[in-house]
Amino acid sequence: MDLLRSLPIGLYLEQPTTWLHRLDPRVKLFWLLSFLLAPILASPIWKLSLVALLVIVSILAGIPWRALKQQMGWLLLAGGAIFLVGIFSPDTLNVSHQLRSPPDIGVEIVQPYQYVLFKIDTGAIHLKITRKSIESAIYASTLVFTLVYSTTVYLLTTAPEEITTGLESLMSPLRRYHVPVTEITLTLTLALRFIPLVLEEIQNLVRSIYTRAIDWQKLGLKNSAKVWLTVSEKLLENLLNRAEQIATAMQVRGFTTPNTHQVQWHQLKLGKTDFLAIILLSIFWIARFVIGGQFA
């Protein structure tokens, strides 16, 4: 069990360096927000296109499959389960159509629009698939995939220092309103750097439990809960010790306030590739409003 490899959450992929790594973090942040906001009130075709676009971008960028395969498998499994549950769930619409007058004998009624696509009603089995349930299933499954996958790709190709530097650059106008921008970005940097430490501590504690070969059936539910409660307390204690060590290291180096000890991690400068990404982002949103609407 290796959480640092199976759950690449908040981890930065240093090698290989792809063209996504070289993009400006501010441009990538706008693309990430676009992928998170574009599915809202969008058509099912557009939501499926976003999933395909994310996969194509990750393939063209050359992100190693080893960095995505474990999470991709669970993500596809979760998305598929959500889709299957969604298509057979009630669509919350209970509308029955009834003619105002009886049809003429011998006249065939043509119904070009079919709302119920599939129905089984035999005994204890009552299953029905409607157009609304399919749209809801597509919305839920693609939303989960887009949310998790786009964020994962962003964190894999953007260093924590780049993320905070980009956010500090975008939030710099708030300084005139006395907003502590530097303190906020410093807190975010430490939080992103702390995520791998949390996964490492969880991994070490779980491995320590497995190496002791505990017979959980003999312990019973109550004693098993006590063991995991002890493990949780140890995890919290280790994380607090890690946080205290980081704080001590900052104090030893004379760090008092972010404003007086600023560290320039990256020099942000837009290049040709960044301007091309901005143009493609404009085309992306034009396509969203023109052909990606709910009633397009």
Contact 48, 134 (CB under 8 A): no
Phi and psi angles of residue 94, each rounded to the nearest 5 degrees, phi first? -120, 70
Q: Are 4 and 85 found together in one domain?
A: yes
Contact 165, 265 (CB under 8 A): yes
Q: Are 145 and 236 found together in one domain?
A: no
In a domain, 108, yes or no: no
pLDDT in tens, 36-59: 998 888 888 888 899 899 888 888
Write down the H helix ranges in 62-114: 69-87
Cα distance between residue 83 and residue 133, in whole Å: 9
Cα distance between residue 15 and residue 27, in whole Å: 21
Mean pLDDT (whole number) for 55-75: 79
In a domain, 256, yes or no: yes
Q: Are 26 and 128 found together in one domain?
A: yes
Compute how many other C-beta atoms are within 10 angstroms of the C-beta atom of residue 125. Answer: 7
CA distances in angstroms from 295 to 46, 92, 132, 252, 288, listed in the order given: 11, 20, 13, 61, 12
Q: Identify the pLDDT of residue 279.
A: 93
Mean pLDDT (whole number) for 88-95: 62
65-74 CB contacts, 8 Å cutoff, 24+ apart: 66/5, 67/8, 67/13, 67/156, 68/8, 68/152, 68/156, 70/5, 70/6, 70/7, 70/8, 71/6, 71/7, 71/8, 71/148, 71/152, 72/149
In a domain, 259, yes or no: yes
In a domain, 80, yes or no: yes
Helix (H) or strand (E) holding 143: helix 131-157
In a domain, 171, yes or no: no
Q: Are 73 and 209 found together in one domain?
A: no
pLDDT in tens, 234-293: 888 888 888 888 888 777 777 766 666 655 656 778 888 889 999 999 999 999 988 877
Q: Are 154 and 274 found together in one domain?
A: yes
Residue 239 per-residue DSSP state: H
Highest mean pLDDT among 53-67, 115-129, 180-194, 211-225: 53-67
Indicate whether 4 pLDDT > 60.
no
Q: Are 204 and 227 found together in one domain?
A: yes
Q: Which of 214, 237, 239, 236 is nearest to 224 (CA)?
A: 214
In a domain, 168, yes or no: no
Contact 20, 63 (CB under 8 A): yes
Q: 261: Cβ–Cβ under 8 A, 6 or more apart, which residues?
A: 254, 255
**What single letter denotes the amino acid at residue 126?**
H
pTM: 0.70
Q: Are 63 and 194 found together in one domain?
A: no
Q: Are 126 and 205 found together in one domain?
A: no
Q: Are 42 and 121 found together in one domain?
A: yes
In a domain, 56, yes or no: yes
Strand partners, 122: 125
The total number of structural domains that make up the chain = 2
In a domain, 203, yes or no: yes
Q: Are 79 and 28 found together in one domain?
A: yes
Structural domain for 205, as ranges: 180-265
Q: Are 241 and 278 found together in one domain?
A: no
Question: Over the chain, what is the mean pLDDT?
Answer: 77
Kindly report which listed range (41-50, 69-78, 101-110, 172-181) carries the lowest average pLDDT score.
101-110
pLDDT in tens, 197-217: 787 888 888 788 878 777 777
Burial class (CB in 10 A: 0-12, 13-18, 19+), 241: exposed
Mapping DSSP to helix (H, G, I), strand (E, B) and coil, where does residue 168 land? helix
Q: Are 197 and 155 found together in one domain?
A: no
